[in-house]
Amino acid sequence: MLPLETGIQTVLTALYAAEDWVRRHQTLPVFLVEDLVQALGAQARPGGEAPSRERITTWLRWLEFLGLVHLGNRQTAPALTLTRTAARILFEVELPSPAAASSPCILQPNFDLLVPPLAGYRILWQLEQMAEFRRRDVLTEYHLSRRSVLSAMRRGWSRAEVLDFLEELTGGGLPGNVRYTLGEWCGHYGRIRLRRTVLVECAGADLAEELEHVPDVKSILGERIADRFFAVPETRARELIRLLRERGYEPSPAQPASPGRQSSESMNNEAV
């Protein structure tokens, strides 16, 4: 496995290929992380181990910490771009600041967003995560909707990141009704969680109370949802069956087995 310093150097060497693009367009291109993974894998020596995506992501996060790349706001970034600092250090190219070269974006009360032509690729890339593209003319037009904003949150954006990004993008010109509605949309995200669980039923409340004091069993039982019932994560059901058997609490099938259907007893037998 490559050490951290060597890995960072390897990634930077791969990104040097962007020099011609930067000099020609005076902008910073967007790289797909998957393309970088494949490129570094192809460069691995015969018989050597290619760096994993997780390892490459770790190197990229160090480069982001150093201010050389930008990975956006997602927890698992699908793409990256160099920073203007990186262009200055690596290629000796001084790029114009998008903020200085263009006027702020305009977010209208009807949720239409107008983006000036000199907005950088990083801004357009981030907008693709949370807004619906409409058309590109002198200005690029996007539209914010509940569906597009929630899609961004599923990619890892938080409520604060959505609002702060749009506030910065518009130079503080976020309409009041848009801010309020965005807060409503984002506020409903993640309030309901669906979990696969196994229902553990005890013969009586006294037995349920007893199980809560059995070593090791208590940590698996999880939430007690009623006097006689516990909700146990599905992934730990077999471990619970094993521990109950070891402690002398033999589980019984919830219902008789029917032809062609696996009974609870058969699952118990598989657990040993």
Q: What is the pLDDT of residues 14-43, one digit of tens each?
A: 888 888 888 877 777 878 888 888 888 887
Instruction: Render pLDDT for 151-201 as a digit per residue (tens, 0 to 9).
Output: 988 888 888 889 988 988 888 888 999 999 999 999 888 888 888 888 898
Fold of 4-95: Arc Repressor Mutant, subunit A (1.10.10)
Least confident span in 50-64, 148-162, 256-270: 256-270
Q: What is the pLDDT of residue 93?
A: 86
Least Cα distance to 68 among 86, 87, 93 occurs for 86
Instruction: Give the model's confidence band at 98: pLDDT under 50 very low, under 70 low, under 90 confident, else very high.
Output: low
Backbone angles phi, psi at 132, to 5 degrees: -90, 125
- For residue 191, the tally of other CB atoms under 10 A from its CB is 6
| For residue 61, pLDDT beyond 90 | no
Least Cα distance to 107 among 117, 99, 96, 115 occurs for 115
| For residue 123, pLDDT beyond 70 | yes
Stronger pLDDT, 85 or 268, i.e. the higher one: 85
| For residue 92, pLDDT beyond 60 | yes
Least confident span in 70-84, 165-179, 193-207, 214-228: 70-84
Residue 192 burial (C-beta neighbours within 10 Å; 0-12, 13-18, 19+)? exposed
149 close to 163: Cβ distance less than 8 angstroms: no
Mean pLDDT of the chain: 81
Average pLDDT over residues 80-104: 75
Average pLDDT over residues 32-58: 82
Q: What is the pLDDT of residue 144?
A: 95
pTM, two decimal places = 0.47
| For residue 10, pLDDT beyond 80 | yes
Q: What is the pLDDT of residue 97?
A: 58
Least Cα distance to 264 among 272, 255, 89 occurs for 255
Q: What is the pLDDT of residue 265?
A: 46
| For residue 100, pLDDT beyond 50 | no
Residue 56 burial (C-beta neighbours within 10 Å; 0-12, 13-18, 19+)? buried
Q: What percent of the chain has pLDDT over 70?
A: 86
Tokens at 36, concatenated: 């970088």
- Angle of helix 146-154 relative to helix 121-130, nearest 10 degrees? 110
Average pLDDT over residues 194-223: 86
- Domain residue ranges of the chain, discontinuous segments joined by +: 4-95, 99-187, 197-253+262-271
